[in-house]
Amino acid sequence: MPEGIIIKALSGYYYVKPLREGLIATEEEAVQCRGRGILKKKGIAPLVGDRIKYVLTENGEGMVDELLPRESELIRPQVANVKLAVLLFSVREPDMNLNLLDKFLVHIEHSGLETLIVLTKQDLADDEGEATALVKALYERIGYEVMVTSSLTGSGSDELRNRLAGMISVFSGQSGVGKSTLLNRLVPGLELETGEISLRLGRGRHTTRHVELMDIGNGGFVADTPGFSQLDFLELGVEELSTCFREFASYAERCKFRGCSHLHEPGCHVIQAVNTGEIAGSRYDHYKLFYNEMKDKKRRY
């Protein structure tokens, strides 16, 4: 029975690229498949990124017969077997939003994926890149990988394409940061629709309609996902929040009280690290903001 990977799910159909000796046969056409009724009865829903076994039918289409074990699963966007989350945030238009970046990082830390922060539109920076350099230094000090790109000049595109080789990545981030433009740079001839930026609102029109894996060469696939204007914390327990701020870890284990919230407890080493500048004040401020937001949401729900 042939194996394949779902690269798109649309209107009840799954579009499957065949696997040959464990590798995606990128040169072959995708097979249009339906899911077997037994999967639905078992409550199993195939996702984009799933590796599956399928059977070919007489009309040249296929039937998804079995899902192979998943290495990872994202709830939103719904994609399976993603290894790397690429968070795109623009230097300008819209302006850098570190609050939203930290909120995305919390969700990615919780999902267990690797993270790559990509700062886009470097060509629009009007400070000779000083603000970008500060943001890059801040997050690299925490331990995140950061790249700077310009879709206008193509700067950073080759480096990013090489980084994404041989894996499924998910692109996400602030609306209007140029996800589609960057993907068009990575994949010549892709010609994704790009959205104009509303300067008054400071955000872009959502141009992506569904999740789809795009072949960027060298065995790399990117899931281009609908843009988010906000994220909520309903799937995350408030007691898990501090573990999603990776720079807290070495200090939190020395806190005086087990289960320390890092907000007001005496002997809190996280608060001490903030006061001495070892933990960035912006990150801690966002931690407190998210903590209160989560507590408020739990009360309402």
Binding-site members are 120-123, 173-181, 255, 260, 262, 268
Q: Which residues are annotated as a binding site for GTP?
A: 120-123, 173-181
User: What's the burial of 126, exposed, middle or buried (CB within 10 Å: 0-12/13-18/19+)?
Assistant: exposed
Binding-site residue positions for Zn(2+): 255, 260, 262, 268
Residue 246: half-sphere exposure toward Cβ, Cα within 13 Å: 17
Quote the CA–CA distance of 166 and 162 in Å, as a whole number: 9
Distance CA 183, CA 70 (A): 26
Tell me which amino acid residue 18 is: P
Cβ neighbors of 139 (< 8 A, separation 6 or more) are 117, 146
Q: Which long-range contacts (CB under 8 A, 24 or more apart) does 110-113 make?
A: 110/235, 110/236, 110/240, 110/244, 111/72, 111/74, 111/85, 112/72, 113/72, 113/74, 113/82, 113/83, 113/84, 113/85, 113/170
d(CA 80, CA 46): 9
Would you say the C-alpha torsion 251, 252, 253, 257 has a positive or negative sign?
positive
Q: Which residue has the tokens 């238009």?
A: 93
- Whole-angstrom CA distances from 235 to 86, 232, 243, 268 are 21, 8, 15, 27
3-state helix, strand, coil in the chain (%, to 5): 30, 25, 45
